[in-house]
Amino acid sequence: MPQKAKKGFFTRNLWLIIVVAFFAVFPLWSPVIWKHLATEIFIIALFAMSLNMILGRGGLPSFGHACFYCVGGYTTAIFTMKLHLPFSVAILSAPVVAAIFAAVIGFFSVRLTGIHFAILTLGFSQLVWAVAHKWYSFTKGDDGITGIPVPAGLGKITAYYYFVFFILIICLILIRVIQNSPFGNTVLAIRENRERVTFSGLKVWHHLWLNFVVAGFFAGLAGSLLVLLNRAVFPDFGYWTKSAAVVLMCIFGGVGVFIGPIIGAAAITLLEHYISIYTFYWQLALGCLIILLVIALPGGISGYIQDRLRQREEKRITPEVG
Amino acid sequence: MTGWVLMSQFLSGLTTAMIYFLIAAGLTLILGVLKIMNFAQGGIYMLGAYTCYTFIKAFGGTNSGFWLTLIIAPIAVAAFFCILEALLMRRFYEKVALYMLLLTYGILIATYDMARMIWGWIIKTAPMPPMFQRPVAIFGHPFPLYNVFLIFMGFFMFFLIWIVIRKTAWGKTMRAAADDREMTAALGINVPLVFTSVFGLGAWIAAMGGALVAPMGGMAADMGIDAGIVAFIVVVIAGLGSLPGALLAAFICGEVQAFGILVLPEFAIAFMYLVLVIVLIVRPWGLFGKPITIK
């Protein structure tokens, strides 16, 4: 029996294994530009996954998520450039500082829902942006902090690719475990029916707050990884258009499916990369894409695929039942 | 001398405040009645400025051409957005707030590139109408006449919108639809049409703001994205949907920025955000808003 169960595991996760294996050998034959793009997609995918903890699982439309991304990036930059702390401290402290920011912002925000939640998170993130943009002596303002050193072992893009890939997998497993835990299920239950969860004696806003903090933690890590990839950080990491862009990625990929945000992040990043080769008017294309998406595919790409698969399944099952 | 420095700072702050008010007033109206956060508002403002530029040029930069532009340009932009509302946004009022946020964001960035396609990448400046090309004396010191006109227009627009909302049948229908959509519809009122008209009015106000700003300085496509966030701050400080609140909040933001430059030039913009966060912490529902249910 255990043998059969093991076989079941492999067949069930065949696609997952193929994808992981593909990306594990991907750098062996691809040019530098692709490796760079793939690394960037991994980082943005982690960022989008962290937002989906609030957006998809918590059902709260956060429009200030780039704030934690920005805080994570600046933490790493300032810790290495100003305080000359070792690399490991700089990268590990980034998510922690971002989580502290998330704790403060979440404290005020998670009591609200819907549009009020969106406005409050947007307001706080804009304040962080304004400080990063204006506080020249600390953040170097809109010049940004550039020339951030990376240890020799991670200097090559291939090494950094594997580093980010490894972190992404660990984080995805962690997020999966959190989402399937009693805590994660409670968050989901709050999204579905807030009142019923309140009546069952659970503290609704404690759960949402903790969820917000964990999401901030992963966003901070993503910001730190991106800063180490580009060796630079700018205040625009935290501008509100960035927050809107990541919301778009989640919706585009599909908020209801675990890997939805990853698909969205990859699709939008690739589209941006390839459309901007052909035209200067990438934003117009993106704007039209958003309008089409909202009208035609409200479940996102993966939501659409899932619906189709379910329909096929039902078709296959119905004759037997009949 | 110092007295005049403070006075001139106050007046320039007031000018800025009026621009902020015009961007925010349409947003707060749409938010109050339609219950949507319209990110595209900044884009409407930007299109208003560019359309004004085109019309002023077409009329040859004369005085009468300027007045004609102020009538035509905002109406043209508002008409465009009315069509957009009827085609795209109408079907999303009852759905999750997120889709509406994304949709208006999509419209914003699409208008941004549209402006760059139509008017180019170079910063444009609309010519100042001849009648405004002179300063006036305030306490014996020169001050641009156009700024005085702009301050006047700000107050004029405030009273105009206030009268429309409070004293006309249209305004009453609007407020009724804002309070209870279903009941208003049950009374035989065409609610979608009311919503389109409110959206059009909000767009008209923002476009008017853009048109009034056009002769003052350079315009670029990204002014809409920045204006959108300023409008958002003003509206949140004011309390969602409050028109007098928007005037007061715009006044606070304009003056805080004008005097902030005197104290800490480096942080002039950040002052506005500081006001925002203080308000968010002390009164999350804004100065004039109703307390939101806190769970």
Confidence band, pLDDT 50/70/90 cuts, at residue A248: confident
> What is the maximal distance between C-alpha atoms in chain A?
74
Q: Is the residue at B222 inside a domain?
A: yes
When mean pLDDT is compared over A51-65, A149-163, B2-16, the highest value belongs to A51-65
In a domain, A264, yes or no: no
The percentage of residues in chain A with a pLDDT greater than 70, rounded to a whole number, is 94
Residues 215-254 of A with CB under 8 A from B: 240-241, 244, 247-248, 251
Q: Which A residues, 88 through 147, put their C-beta within 8 Å of a C-beta on chain B?
A: 108, 111-112, 114-116, 118-120, 122-124, 126-127, 130-131, 133-136
Residue-number span of the structural domain to which B110 is assigned: 2-282
The pLDDT value recorded for residue A221 is 93
Its pTM stands at 0.82
pLDDT tens figures, B218-246: 788 778 777 888 888 888 888 877 888 88
Q: Which of B273, B293, B294 to mutate to test the interface with A (most CBs of A within 10 A)?
A: B273
- The secondary element (H helix, E strand) that includes residue B186 is helix B181-186
The answer to whether residue B7 sits within a structural domain is yes
The answer for residues whose C-beta is within 8 angstroms of residue A17's C-beta and 6 or more apart is A10
**Nearest-Cα residue of chain B relative to residue A142:** B266
Taking contacts as CB-CB distances below 8 angstroms, the residues of chain A near B232 are: 119, 122-123
**SS3 assignment for B15-56:** HHHHHHHHHHHHHHHHHHHHCCCCCCHHHHHHHHHHHHHHHH
Selecting from B37, B105, B232 the residue whose C-beta is nearest the C-beta of A290 gives B105
Least confident of A97-101, A129-133, B17-21, B201-205: A129-133
The predicted structure's pLDDT at residue B274? 80
Assigned domain for B294 exists: no
pLDDT value at A1 more than 50: no
Q: For B32-83, what is each residue's pLDDT tens digit?
A: 888 888 888 889 999 999 998 888 888 877 888 888 888 888 999 999 999 9
Please determine, for residue A4, whether its predicted confidence score (pLDDT) is greater than 70.
no
User: Residue A151 — φ and ψ, nearest 5°?
Assistant: -55, 150
Q: For chain B, how many residues are written?
A: 295
Answer whether residue A243 is part of any domain. Answer: no
Q: Is 50 exceeded by the pLDDT of residue A73? A: yes
B155 in reach of chain A (CB within 8 A): no
Half-sphere exposure of A87 (CA within 13 A, CB side): 12
Q: How many residues appear in chain A?
A: 322
Q: What would the two tokens of residue A112 be?
A: 């609200």
Q: What is the mean pLDDT of chain B?
A: 84
**Structural domains counted in chain A:** 1
pLDDT number for residue B185: 84
- What band does A7 get if pLDDT is binned at 50, 70 and 90? low
Q: Is residue B293 part of a domain?
A: no
Closest-CA distance of chain B to residue A119, Å: 8
User: Would you say residue B295 has pLDDT above 50?
Assistant: no
What is the mean pLDDT of the segment spanning B254-264?
Answer: 83
Tell me the CATH number at B100.
1.10.3470
> CB of A281 within 8 Å of any CB in chain B?
yes
Question: pLDDT higher for A160 or B1?
Answer: A160
- Supply the pLDDT for residue A49: 92
Residue A112 is assigned to a structural domain of this protein: yes
- Domain containing A52 equals 32-237
Q: Is the residue at B290 inside a domain?
A: no
Nearest residue, CB atoms, B110 vs list A115, A198, A287: A287
Q: Closest approach of chain A CAs to the CA of B236, in angstroms? A: 8
pLDDT of residue A26: 82
Strands of B134-210, DSSP E? 135-138, 141-144
User: Which pLDDT belongs to residue A322?
Assistant: 40
- Smallest Cβ–Cβ distance between B113 and the set A136, A284, A295 belongs to A284
Pairwise CA distance, residues B277 & A126, whole Å: 10
Q: Which of A252-266, A308-322, B125-139 has the highest mean pLDDT?
A: A252-266
Query: pLDDT band for position A214 (50/70/90)?
Result: very high
Residue A305's CB is within 10 A of a number of other CB atoms, namely 15
Taking chain A, what is the end-to-end CA distance rounded to the nearest angstrom? 33
Average pLDDT over residues A253-282: 85
Please tell me the distance in Å from A73's CA to the nearest CA on chain B.
20
Q: Is residue B168 part of a domain?
A: yes
Check if the interface score ipTM surpasses 0.85: no
| Count of structural domains within chain B | 1
Do the domain assignments include residue B98? yes
